[in-house]
Structure 1
Amino acid sequence: MTSKAAASEVEYSILEFSDLNGWEQDDHAAALGVFLNTCQDMDDADWRALCALAGDQTDAKAFFELFFRPVLIEDGDDALFTGYFEPELDGDLYPSTRFRYPLYRMPPEARAARQWLTRREIETGEVMQGRGLEIAWVDDPVELFFLQIQGSGRIRLPDGRHIRVGYAGANGHEYRSIGVELVRRGIYKAHQVSAQVIKNWVRRNPFEGSELLHHNPSYVFFRKVTNVSPEDGPRGAMNRSITALRSIAVDKRFVPLGAPVWIEKGGAAPMRRLMIAQDTGSAIKGAQRADIYFGTGDAAGRAAGRLRDPGRILVLMPIQRAYAMLPVDAY
């Protein structure tokens, strides 16, 4: 049975598990394992109670069906799936003629401000100079730009060691898509744009490419991550490692971090599976918006960069919490 309620232009629909396309075929145990990675960090008592129960389950599918209900949350925008990954860049701990593009820690004045300097002002001005805020230097400004979009990554040092960096904050300016800007300028059609296409265009057009990167005023600062092993995924917004093809980034105004989320992604490679909302992103805005984590490295990057698909997103909410989202007259 489906129930609907509208509040502040947001619609909530409670569905049955039989309404979920592909639910029977998924690996629910894999999803439960990822859920257990972060559910103990959720704030509310009902989530923590379910987390305690989850650790004793031998039938993951039955656990989700018994204690949750799928909720479709709609805000008027179409569903959109994109992908992200953990980039791996070549860099060094010291600047050189090759490694001359710095990754910065967040300066205190940026953290204190609601909105600080723009990307152009940070990269072309002197405000960051001589302050020891550099974590590392890399050899490619385009890869650094996309590292900021991803929010975390690894730097491969000349001696073969790696350092991992994570999101530390941003300058407070709204994210602007440079892919959308290339379409607006008539350089590409929307269906032609991918991360690799953008990178190639910027490298072929150095001056115009630099200006294109500055079209996005948002700028991300990093922190060095020392407590995550190389075998684990990067830390997401819940400060726990995320899992390839089981973790997604969501808009936490609509989806609680740590919640199970059923995705029905269309496109050339349909995906039907239970994911866990363990991350956020500055470009992830809306109730039907999700960014799928694909893993680390170039292959994951190619898969993530091609993804821009429609579909449907349903949040698995604890039963009482699901029905509490509806007004009384919706029953």
Structure 2
Amino acid sequence: MKGWSEDDPSAAWSALLTSCTKLSRQPQWKSACDAAGTLGTQPGSTRARHYFEQHFSPWLLRNTETSTEGLVTGYYEPLIRGSRSRNQRYAWPIHGAPADMLTIELGDVYPELKHLRLRGRVVGNKVLPYWTREQLAERGDQVPAPVLLWADDPIDLFFLQVQGSGRVQLPDGRTVRVGYADQNGHPYQSIGRWLVAQGELTLDQASMDGIKRWASANPQRLRELLNTNPSYVFFRELPASNGGPIGALGVPLTEGRSIAVDPRYVPLGAPVFLATTYPLSNRALNRLMLAQDTGSAIKGAVRADFFWGFGEQAGREAGRMRQQGQMWVLLPKGIRPPGAR
């Protein structure tokens, strides 16, 4: 694995132990997780490296027979301002999951479509696609979904939805943690790419900060901008905690050591060695990660979203990250990855 010797695998140890709280229930993972448990919480670099080399086999992920590079983006846990009550300042709803949305698990009928699902709504005797972002905005208070909180900025709320979890600071200084509850079933479309296609921004300017600046300068086009992405994320309120947000695996994410992947190609919870570069640079970022999350925009074998942590600095790094990289999934010896030949 390119760069394996450059990383300290013990830095990913706590994330591995977190993954093992879920993976150890699976027979193929139990031996490796039990062995990790015997080494304690701080095994040191040498023992951690020996552990991974003894218990796992690396599998290079490929998009095609010849393509082993893919896109690596970043995400983070944002802090936005909000309120429990609606007023002139706090006017943008943070919705919980709607009562009328159906979720159809395709894998229940077609096993080869595991991890794929449809969302819809019943109209008469038909199931139709659920409302798009634009349609939800048009319905306003008629949306059959609870309002958990009210945000003061629509762009901040949009990026909260893109990240999938975050914290909301109330007027009295307290914070509320919210996490992903569901999504309306429509594909994610990048508003940054739309701005580039419209000639409003260059590709280099289409970062999160660049989009926010454009929105601030063009408030009359805000709704047009947001509606270019039909995807809409619904949230749930989470208990207060000091750890990272809860990912799709059901465990807290670890800053700088968790990634979101496409579970069709990478089992959730698995170690993944990522060879990429830091945002806007050629400086190598070779790091052992844990696949603990998913995302609607994370599709393909060589595709990762790097979790940078909480706050403004993490947001800056995440917003600038759009690198190329390679990925090796580490599986217990004797186990083959999905689709391996």
TM-score, scaled to structure 2 = 0.85
Q: What are the equivalent positions in structure 2 for 1:81-100 lying under 5 Å apart? A: 81-100=72-91
1:272 lines up with 2:286 in the alignment: yes
Runs of at least 5 residues in structure 2 that lack an aligned partner in the other structure: 104-118, 121-128
Q: Percent identity?
A: 43
Inter-partner Cα distance in structure 2 for 1:34 and 1:323: 21
Q: 1:38 to 1:205 in 2, by over 3 A?
A: same
Contact 2:266–2:338 at 8 Å: present in 1 too?
no
Q: How far, CA to CA, are the matches of 2:53 and 2:78 in structure 1?
A: 36
Alignment of 1:203-218 (within 5 A): 203-218=216-231
Q: How far apart in 1 are the matches of 2:309 and 2:230?
A: 27
What is the alpha-carbon distance in structure 2 between the residues aligned to residue 202 and residue 49 of structure 1? 52
Query: Matches of 2:71 and 2:225 in 1, distance apart?
Result: 24
Runs of 4 or more consecutive aligned structure 1 residues displaced over 2 Å after TM superposition: 111-115, 126-129, 186-192, 322-327
Conservation of the 8 A alpha-carbon contact between 1:163 and 1:224: yes
For residues 299 and 282 of structure 1, what CA distance do their matches in structure 2 show? Answer: 24
C-alpha displacement of 1:199: 1.4
Alpha-carbon shift at residue 209 of structure 1 (Å): 2.6
Q: Does 1:104 align with 2:95?
A: yes
1:180 matched to 2:161: no
* Alignment counterpart, residue 155 of structure 2, candidates 142, 147, 151: 142
Match of 2:115 in 1: none
The DSSP-based 3-state class of the residue aligned with 1:135 is strand
SS in 2 for 1:158: coil
Q: Which residue identity does 1:246 align to in structure 2?
A: R
Which moves more between the two structures, 279-288 or 176-185? 176-185
Distance 2:140 2:190 in 1: 26
Structure 2 CA distance for partners of 1:316 and 1:128, relative to 1, 3 Å: farther
Q: Evaluate the alpha carbon distance shift between residue 61 and residue 254 of structure 1 in structure 2; reply closer, same or farther with a 3 A threshold.
A: same
How far residue 35 of structure 1 moved from its aligned partner, in angstroms, is 0.8
Distance 1:22 1:300 in 2: 24
Distance in 2 (CA, whole Å) between partners of 1:81 and 1:132 is 33
Instruction: Kindly provide the CA deviation profile for residues 83-124 of structure 1, in whole angstroms up to 9, marking residues without a partner as x.
Output: 100010011111111111110111121244443100011112
Q: CA deviation at 1:186?
A: 2.2
Choose from 306, 309, 314 the match for 1:292: 306
Unaligned runs of 5+ in 1: 1-19
Q: Does 1:234 align with 2:234?
A: no
Instruction: Look up the SS of the partner of 1:322 in the other structure.
Output: coil
Q: In structure 2, what is the equivalent of residue 47 of structure 1?
A: 29
Code of the residue aligned with 1:309 in structure 2: it is: Q
1:73 to 61, 69, 73: 61
Q: Does 1:21 align with 2:34?
A: no
- CA shift digits 1:129-181 (9 cap, x unpaired): 5x671110010000000100000000001111110000000001111111111
Question: CA shift at 1:48, angstroms?
Answer: 2.4
Distance in 1, matches of 2:322 and 2:93, equals: 30
Q: Which residue of 2 aligns with 1:13?
A: none
How far apart, in 1, do the equivalents of 2:60 and 2:324 lie? 15
Compared with structure 1, are the counterparts of its residues 87 and 323 closer, same or farther at alpha carbon in structure 2 (3 Å cutoff)?
Answer: closer
- The amino acid of 1:62's aligned partner reads H
TM-score, structure 1 normalization: 0.87
> Counterpart of 1:197?
210
The alpha-carbon distance between structure 1 residues 255 and 324, as it changes in their structure 2 partners (threshold 3 A), is: closer
Match of 2:326 among 312, 319, 324: 312
**Aligned pairs (5 A) from 1:104-143:** 104-112=95-103, 113-114=119-120, 115-126=129-140, 128=142, 133-143=146-156
Q: Distance in 2 between matches of 1:171 and 1:87?
A: 21
Partner of 1:321, secondary structure, is coil
Aligned positions, number: 305
Deviation at 1:21, TM superposition (A): 2.7
Candidates 2, 12, 18, aligned match of 1:31: 12
Alignment CA distance shift 1:266-1:132 (3 Å): closer
Matched, 1:224 2:237: yes
2:116 maps to which residue?
none
> For residues 297 and 67 of structure 1, what CA distance do their matches in structure 2 show?
36
Deviation at 1:318, TM superposition (A): 1.4
